[in-house]
Amino acid sequence: MRSTNEFEKGIVLRIENEPWQIVEYHFVNPGKGAAFTRTTLKNLKTGKVVERAFKSGEAFEEIELERKKGVFLYKDRRNAVFTIGEAKQRISFPIEQLKWELNFLKANTEVIVMHLDEKPYAISLPAKMELKVVEAPPAIKGNTATGGKKAVVLETGYSVNAPLFVEQDDVIVVNTQTGEYCEKAK
């Protein structure tokens, strides 16, 4: 059981029989009543995001998530397909559910597949990933109006702002949380 004062971002609680992940939380004290904890919760089954307030001291069952190693294979018009574990069991997610992750996924990328009640429900990417630049406009000398940055296109089709010295066929490191350029791969 997790009490409100043990809340953390990312943990999953069973509330009214549904799995809710804590996205955000903070303390409120109306002064004329007990203190409360305000939270933003994401339902891991439906993806629905809600705001909820709980009286301080209320406790909920924590759901342990199972993390399994997986590999991204390919995507088609509807689904993104992965294999899980040694047995290479195939699973797929609708592409709408992985809009963000697919910006960085190329064939054979290793990922973590989060499981809830034995069912896969989400993909966790490595925090940083190396991707090849397939399109980079030439740097125009003295062009500092854009803060010394230019948009380059990665092999996954994702476009990112990179320093002017980045060229086509370079491999760069991208932060998969923010989607921003980190550095040139060594």
Partner 1 sequence: MTRNFITIQKQRAKIIDAIRLFFKHKGFLEVFTPTFVKLPGMEPYLNPLPYTFQDEKNKSYKGYVITSPEYSLKKLLSRGFPNIYQMATVFRQGESFGPMHNPEFTMLEWYRPHSDYTQIMKDVEQLTCAAALAVHKTLLIPFGNTIINLKQPWQKISVKQAFQKYAHVNLDNARTVSSFRKQLGHKPYPIPKNANWDDLFYTVFLNDIEQNFPKNKPIIVYDYPLPQAALAKRKPCSRITAAHGANKSRNSLQGKLPSFYAERFEAYIGGVEIGNAFSELTDWKEQYTRLKHEQALRRKLGKDAYAIDMDFIAGLKSGIPETGGIAVGVERLQMVLLNIQDINDLMTFPVNTLFKSE
Q: How many residues bind partner 1 (CB under 8 A)?
A: 21
Q: Is the dihedral of CA 161, 166, 168, 174 positive or negative?
A: negative
User: Measured from the CB atom, is 28 or 151 closer to partner 1?
Assistant: 28
Judged by CB under 8 A, does residue 29 bind partner 1?
yes
Of 9, 27, 126, 157, the residue at the interface with partner 1 (CB under 8 A) is: 27
Of 11, 35, 116, 139, the residue at the interface with partner 1 (CB under 8 A) is: 35
Q: State the Cα–Cα distance between residues 104 and 120, nearest whole angstrom.
A: 20
Q: Which stretch binds partner 1 (CB under 8 A): 20-28, 76-84, 101-109, 176-184?
A: 20-28
Q: State the Cα–Cα distance between residues 29 and 15, nearest whole angstrom.
A: 22
Amino acid at 20: W
Q: State the Cα–Cα distance between residues 99 and 125, nearest whole angstrom.
A: 13
* β 59-63/49-55 pair status: unpaired
**Contacts of partner 1 in 45-74 (CB under 8 A):** 50-55, 58
Q: For binding to partner 1 (CB under 8 A), which residues are involved?
A: 15-16, 26-36, 38, 50-55, 58
